[in-house]
């Protein structure tokens, strides 16, 4: 605590009196707020001090720091470094210019045995002065802080009397190498090098180079976000994809004015390219901080849930996974396509709440090798974050080994395992009171539905999803309302924990189709009946005033 704090050389460390903010509770993935909120005097400092107080790093501790380059990163980086020094942290590893993608930060924490990491990003949320900023906190395993820790940080923020910061000039972050800030070493590292090396150790780069030499064409959309430098180094320089294969590769603080969210709506330029008559063989996009991926074939979209299943089914073609998979996991709303692969492989499949932090224990305990979420997130035990470019390389490795177009590969997968039609409808910017009220009424209503027949389906069960972590026994409840049908179809309702304006209701729909003759339907048509049921039971229109979702993925 401030009074008994002793730093090594804290001559210039100031203790600043502050008042707690009531709203610093991290959500699904870090603390996310409008830039204007973070700009309030003491707001960032309060949260960072709460993080340092809660983590209580050893005096010689190492902190990894970086971000997605979005607006306000440049203001926040020197503040955090001066606070780290004033809090007696021994060493800070910082990506050059403050850049580190979320998966690269995870990889750096693990590689250098750091004690914690701070990632400055609001992920796929819009950037710029009117946009969002965020702070993610990671632990020594390289993964997002578990709920117990984020709740402790929040509790600390509610009672924070002071914070500590150095009165010193900013450290230059544009040159590689060490310097000192009071008693702390600041080591500026290449943000790409360690990550690229890890990728080379997992995938058959020789086969990928041969693939590109044979004329295979790819379009990678970095969405003017953090993956540009990573993709250019790995795809173009190391693997020989033609120059220009990476589009929108230059990171910009406002991501070029569009949300850096890799889906069919926001990556429309890529979608247009992949639908053109001369489309490349493969298309992909990553989000603001590089942990999400969207995978496209020629005029063909792979749902993230199917992508996870395909990676699991074909994993052994990649050298890093040649020994097979220990198990897999998916978030609850993610389709059950991967469950069928796990069953065929005879390995366990875990169902976790939404958010990457829930995979950490399973990965650390070596219970799973691959995991993923429907929200364009896939990853493995190589890191403790989802990893966009990793997923792209994995797909390329599979395509190089199977020598089949992507669409043919996916359709063959459906014939073998059956197809899980899947969609997510987001209703954004809702009145938070109306959204909570909808969920409350729905919880009661769903309880009366088991046994009833609706839309030619019988309801098997309904619940509010609760998860008990098989490793540490911690319980997460209230993780989404589920309506489960006897034929395997599911409807899930959840409120988002990453938005910064109003409430976002997410409606997840899934139906299983074993018959290959019926697997070619349009997804929205195949799910139309379920969509109607979901709207009816939740009284969506009456309660939100919305006739249609704002985003469909």
- Helix and strand numbers (H, E) in the chain are 18, 27
For 40, counting Cβ atoms within 10 Å of its Cβ (0-12 exposed, 13-18 middle, 19+ buried), the class is exposed
List phi, psi (to 5°) of 487. Answer: -85, 10
Stretch that binds Co ion, among 57-65, 284-292, 351-359, 506-514 (CB under 5 A): 284-292
**Half-sphere exposure at residue 47, Cβ-oriented, CA atoms within 13 angstroms:** 27
Judged by beta carbon distances under 5 to 8 A according to partner kind, the member of Co ion, ligand VG1, none in contact with residue 306 is: none
Stretch that binds Co ion, among 252-260, 283-291, 492-500, 533-541 (CB under 5 A): 283-291
**Catalytic, out of 50, 106, 123, 245:** 123
Contact residue for ligand VG1 among 304, 355, 372, 379 (CB under 6 A) = 355
> What gap in Å lies between CA 521 and CA 525, rounded to an integer?
7
CB 182 within 8 A of CB 13: yes
Taking only Cα atoms into account, the Rg of the chain, rounded to an integer number of angstroms, comes to 23
Contact residue for Co ion among 10, 53, 97, 291 (CB under 5 A) = 291
SS (H, E, C) 270-289: HHHHHHCCCCCCEEEEECCC
Beta strands in 4-111 (DSSP E): 13-17, 31-34, 62-67, 91-99
Which residues in the 42-101 window bind ligand VG1 by CB under 6 A?
none
Judged by beta carbon distances under 5 to 8 A according to partner kind, the member of ligand VG1, Co ion, none in contact with residue 496 is: ligand VG1
Stretch that binds ligand VG1, among 103-111, 373-381, 398-406, 523-531 (CB under 6 A): 373-381
Q: Does 123 bind Co ion (CB under 5 A)?
A: yes
Number of shown-chain residues binding Co ion (CB under 5 A): 5
Output the smallest distance, CB 256 to ligand VG1, in A. Answer: 18
305 flagged as catalytic: no
Residue 180: how many other CB atoms lie within 10 Å? 12
Q: Does 289 bind Co ion (CB under 5 A)?
A: yes
Contact residue for ligand VG1 among 291, 306, 387, 513 (CB under 6 A) = 291
> What gap in Å lies between CA 37 and CA 425, rounded to an integer?
28
Residue 545: how many other CB atoms lie within 10 Å? 11
Q: Does 204 bind Co ion (CB under 5 A)?
A: no
Output the smallest distance, CB 288 to Co ion, in A. Answer: 6
- Per-residue string for binding with ligand VG1, 488-517, x by CB under 6 A? --------xxx-------x-----------
Output the smallest distance, CB 91 to ligand VG1, in A. Answer: 26
Residue showing the smallest CB distance to ligand VG1 in the complex? 123
Output the smallest distance, CB 124 to Co ion, in A. Answer: 5
Output the smallest distance, CB 416 to ligand VG1, in A. Answer: 27
123 vs 397, beta carbon nearer Co ion: 123
Q: Does 261 bind ligand VG1 (CB under 6 A)?
A: no
> What gap in Å lies between CA 517 and CA 526, rounded to an integer?
13
340 CB-near residues (< 8 Å, 6+ apart):
309, 417, 418
283 pairs with which residues across the strands?
219, 296
CB 309 within 8 A of CB 341: yes
Q: Does 373 bind Co ion (CB under 5 A)?
A: no
**Contact set with Co ion (CB under 5 A):** 123, 287, 289, 291-292
**Contact set with ligand VG1 (CB under 6 A):** 28-29, 123-124, 287, 291-292, 331, 354-356, 373, 375, 377, 496-498, 506
- Which residues have a catalytic role annotated? 123
């Amino acid at each position: 605590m401030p009074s008994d704090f002793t730093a090594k050389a804290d001559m210039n460390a100031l203790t600043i009196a502050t008042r707690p903010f009531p709203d610093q509770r991290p959500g699904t993935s870090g603390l996310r707020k409008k830039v204007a909120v973070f700009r309030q005097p003491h707001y960032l400092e309060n949260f960072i001090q709460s993080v340092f107080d809660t983590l209580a790093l050893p005096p010689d501790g190492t902190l990894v720091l970086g971000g997605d380059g979005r607006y306000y990163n440049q203001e926040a980086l020197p503040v955090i470094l001066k606070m780290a020094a004033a809090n007696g942290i021994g060493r800070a590893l910082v990506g050059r210019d403050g850049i580190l993608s979320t998966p690269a930060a995870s990889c750096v924490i693990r590689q250098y045995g750091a004690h914690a990491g701070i990632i400055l990003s609001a992920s796929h949320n819009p950037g710029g002065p009117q946009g969002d900023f965020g702070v993610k906190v990671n632990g020594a395993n390289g993964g997002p802080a578990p709920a117990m820790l984020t709740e402790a940080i929040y509790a600390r923020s509610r009672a924070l009397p002071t914070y500590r910061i150095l009165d010193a000039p900013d450290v230059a972050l544009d040159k590689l190498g060490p310097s000192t800030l009071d008693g702390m070493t600041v080591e500026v590292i290449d943000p790409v090098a360690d990550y690229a090396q890890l990728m080379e150790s997992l995938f058959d780069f020789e086969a990928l180079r041969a693939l590109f030499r044979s004329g295979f064409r790819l379009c990678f959309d970095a969405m003017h976000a953090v993956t540009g430098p990573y993709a250019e180094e790995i795809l173009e320089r190391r693997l020989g994809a033609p120059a220009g294969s990476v589009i929108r590769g230059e990171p910009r603080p406002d991501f070029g004015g569009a949300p850096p969210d890799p889906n069919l709506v926001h990556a429309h330029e890529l979608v247009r390219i992949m639908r053109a008559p001369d489309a490349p063989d493969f298309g992909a996009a990553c989000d603001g901080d590089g942990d999400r991926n969207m995978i496209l074939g020629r005029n063909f979209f792979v749902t993230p849930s199917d992508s996870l299943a395909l990676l699991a089914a074909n994993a052994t073609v990649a050298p890093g996974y040649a020994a097979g998979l220990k198990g897999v996991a998916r978030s609850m709303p993610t389709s059950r396509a991967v469950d069928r692969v796990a069953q065929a492989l005879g390995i366990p499949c875990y169902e976790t709440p939404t958010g990457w932090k829930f995979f950490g224990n399973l990965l650390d305990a070596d219970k799973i090798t691959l995991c993923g979420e429907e929200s364009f997130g896939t990853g493995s035990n190589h890191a403790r974050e989802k990893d966009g470019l990793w997923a792209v390389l994995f797909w390329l490795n599979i395509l190089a080994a199977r020598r089949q177009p992507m669409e043919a590969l996916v359709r063959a997968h459906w014939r073998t395992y059956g197809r899980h039609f899947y969609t997510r409808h987001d209703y954004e910017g809702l009145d938070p009171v109306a959204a909570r009220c909808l969920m409350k009424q729905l919880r009661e209503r769903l309880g009366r539905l088991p046994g009833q027949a609706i839309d030619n389906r019988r309801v098997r069960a309904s619940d509010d999803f609760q998860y008990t972590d098989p490793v540490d026994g911690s319980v997460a409840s209230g993780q989404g309302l589920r309506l489960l049908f006897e034929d395997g179809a599911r409807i899930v309702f959840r409120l988002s924990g990453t938005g910064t304006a109003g409430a976002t209701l997410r409606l997840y729909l899934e139906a299983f189709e074993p018959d290959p003759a019926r697997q070619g339907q349009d997804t929205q048509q195949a799910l139309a009946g379920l969509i109607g049921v979901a709207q009816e039971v939740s009284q969506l229109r009456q309660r939100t005033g919305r006739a249609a979702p704002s985003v469909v993925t």
